Amino acid sequence: MEMDESINVFGEPLEASMGTPVTGFFRDNMCNTCEQDVGSHTVSIKATEEFLEYSRFKGNDLSTPMPEFGFEGVKPGDTWCLCAARWLQAEMDDRAPRVYLKRTHIKALEIVPLEILRKYAADLS
């Protein structure tokens, strides 16, 4: 798998997330992507209880630990690389979590316009 260039939505080097759970399509704590990443795990979010419940309701349970896969579950306050289409769906349903734009891959812009992402920016003053 050849990784796309690590560039954020501003055309700058993509910033890494820190901590656990380890996130990203490549499990490198970055929202890197490639041609094989059909879900486009490119939007870096700050998880909330409301969003995690919404995601579980939509069929993507991110909060239940699965130790057999080395996954401890996402908790409120955690950073997670979310599929761009899932984030946009949550935004349309008024459940979108805040976004770290400097950690969000430029490929997310193929699905979500920057103007919408900016409204949820957690890392801009």
pLDDT, tens digit (0-9, with 9 covering 90-100), for 60-72:
999 999 999 888 9
CA distance linking residue 49 with residue 87, whole number of Å = 15
pLDDT at residue 33 is higher than 70: yes
User: Residue 74: pLDDT above 90?
Assistant: yes
The answer to whether residue 1 scores a pLDDT higher than 80 is: yes
pLDDT for position 125 = 67
- Is the pLDDT at 113 greater than 90? The verdict is yes
Averaged over 17-24, what is the pLDDT? Answer: 86
Global pTM reads: 0.94
Rounded average pLDDT over 28-51: 96
Residue 85 has pLDDT above 80, yes or no: yes
Q: Which residues contact 69 (CB under 8 A, 6 or more apart)?
A: none
Q: Quote the pLDDT of residue 28.
A: 93
Question: In terms of residues, how long is the chain?
Answer: 125
Tokens of 5: 């260039």
Using left for φ > 0, alpha for ψ between -120 and 50, and beta otherwise, residue 70 falls in left
